[in-house]
Amino acid sequence: MKNNKITVVMTGGTIGSAVSGDHIDISREPIILNEYRRLYGSDTEFTVIRPFSMLSENLSPHMWEKLGRTIAAIDDDSDGIIITHGTDTLAYTAAYIAMVFRGTKKPIVMVSSNFPIGEEGSNGIYNFRAAADFIENESITGVFAVYRDNKNRDIVHLASRLTEADTYTDQFYSYGGCPYGEMENGHFVRFSNAVNPKAFMLKGRESIDVEPLNNEVLMIRPYPGIDYSQFDLKNKPKAILHCMYHSGTASVSEGRHSLPEFIKRCRNEGIDVYLSCYKDEKKPKYATAKEIIRAGGIPLYRISSEASYVKLVLAYNQNNISPCDFMKENIYFEVL
């Protein structure tokens, strides 16, 4: 029986950090691999690549590009790739990797940890083992994220649907409420749901070129009393993603609190404004939502704000397709 081979791309984050007194920071040691070998042996051959090592809250799209080029350059006989990553921006990097490497011929699994490895309550080693089991025991290609939940279930998410962790529980969820599946006794069990593609549907797509991500996208979240006059457009982002309340609404009050007025100001500056997101094109919308769309806001449907942002960054940094066409395409099951 051949030894399993896994390429581990380490980027830092809590899963790559250690505690010293009251301080948590990146460790130079491959702590997660040392702990994995201690607990589960060394039958698997791991090849380690470190494109960078940082806490994920410091990541920018330029680091996605660097990570993308690292993964694109991997040319080995490994069975799959594990990317270790911090939790804070995991959902965004996961969406980027999912969309760019949608045509991967081997599984790519992203893992993280709620606490540093070895600390009480840390789930990092379980996430890493579940990812290794997924690669070693299954024949499913695609891009995924694995994270143990508070019921000790090793949940497998489609990477393009992962949403930010809950700030209190540190739990991750899949957009739409249904993860892709879970690992049970070392094997993957797909959750049967209409929004979850079958394994064969994950294949047959072409990956996207790793392009320089120089054109910036501004992301705005609504809140009561938002003052749009505070947004200075002199740096002219290529596009703006304006998140909406769950009902697809935002303020249409007059003057500086008006999203329609802000959209008109953006259009005068040549800046496209996208709205994330709406549930259904055909169902009636609130009068406020219709006013926002009439003002020129471009509605996005059934996609998380995290995936919307990443998709816009990609859309406005592509050389061979218009942003509008790119946003209409369901790149990697990010649209439900």
Which CATH fold would you assign to the domain 5-202? Rossmann fold (3.40.50)
Please give the pLDDT value at position 3.
Answer: 78
Share of the chain above pLDDT 90, in %: 87
pLDDT in tens, 169-203: 999 999 999 999 999 999 999 999 999 999 999 99
The pTM is what?
Answer: 0.96
Amino acid at 26: I
Please give the pLDDT value at position 1.
Answer: 46
d(CA 25, CA 334) in angstroms, rounded, equals: 33
Using CA atoms, how far residue 105 sits from 72, 169, 264, 283, in Å, is 12, 34, 45, 39
Dihedral (Cα; 31, 35, 41, 45), 10-degree rounding: -20
Using CA atoms, how far residue 218 sits from 94, 125, 227, 312, 316, in Å, is 19, 35, 16, 10, 12
Share of the chain above pLDDT 70, in %: 98
pLDDT (mean) for 116-141:
95
- Which residue matches tokens 């791991």? 46
Instruction: Inform me whether the pLDDT recorded for 26 exceeds 80.
Output: no
Write out the residue limits of the CATH 3.40.50.40 domain(s) in the chain: 217-328
Please give the pLDDT value at position 20.
Answer: 66
Instruction: Inform me whether the pLDDT recorded for 29 exceeds 70.
Output: yes
Write out the residue limits of the CATH 3.40.50.1170 domain(s) in the chain: 5-202
Instruction: Inform me whether the pLDDT recorded for 120 exceeds 80.
Output: yes
- Identify which of 129, 131, 130, 137 has the alpha carbon closest to the alpha carbon of residue 4: 137
- Vertex 181 angle, CA 49 and 334, to 5°: 75
* Backbone CA torsion sign across 291, 244, 144, 316: positive
d(CA 71, CA 67) in angstroms, rounded, equals: 6
Please give the pLDDT value at position 176.
Answer: 96
Instruction: Inform me whether the pLDDT recorded for 223 exceeds 90.
Output: yes
The tally of CA atoms less than 13 A away on the side-chain side of residue 36 is 23
pLDDT (mean) for 137-152:
96
d(CA 4, CA 133) in angstroms, rounded, equals: 10
Q: What value does the mean pLDDT of the chain take?
A: 94
Instruction: Inform me whether the pLDDT recorded for 24 exceeds 80.
Output: no
- Identify which of 92, 331, 83 has the alpha carbon closest to the alpha carbon of residue 207: 331
Ramachandran angles phi, psi of 198, nearest 5°: -75, 160
Residues near 147 by beta carbon (within 8 Å), at least 6 away in sequence: 111, 112, 123, 127, 154, 155, 157, 171, 172
Please give the pLDDT value at position 319.
Answer: 83
pLDDT (mean) for 75-103:
97
CATH number attached to the domain at 217-328: 3.40.50.40
- Identify which of 241, 298, 240 has the alpha carbon closest to the alpha carbon of residue 266: 240
pLDDT (mean) for 249-263:
96
Q: Identify the three-state secondary structure at position 277.
A: strand
pLDDT (mean) for 162-168:
97
pLDDT (mean) for 58-80:
96
Instruction: Inform me whether the pLDDT recorded for 303 exceeds 90.
Output: yes
Instruction: Inform me whether the pLDDT recorded for 27 exceeds 90.
Output: no
Instruction: Inform me whether the pLDDT recorded for 97 exceeds 90.
Output: yes
pLDDT (mean) for 137-155:
97
Using CA atoms, how far residue 61 sits from 96, 174, 241, 303, 307, in Å, is 9, 22, 15, 20, 13
Structure confidence at residue 19 as a pLDDT band (50, 70, 90): confident
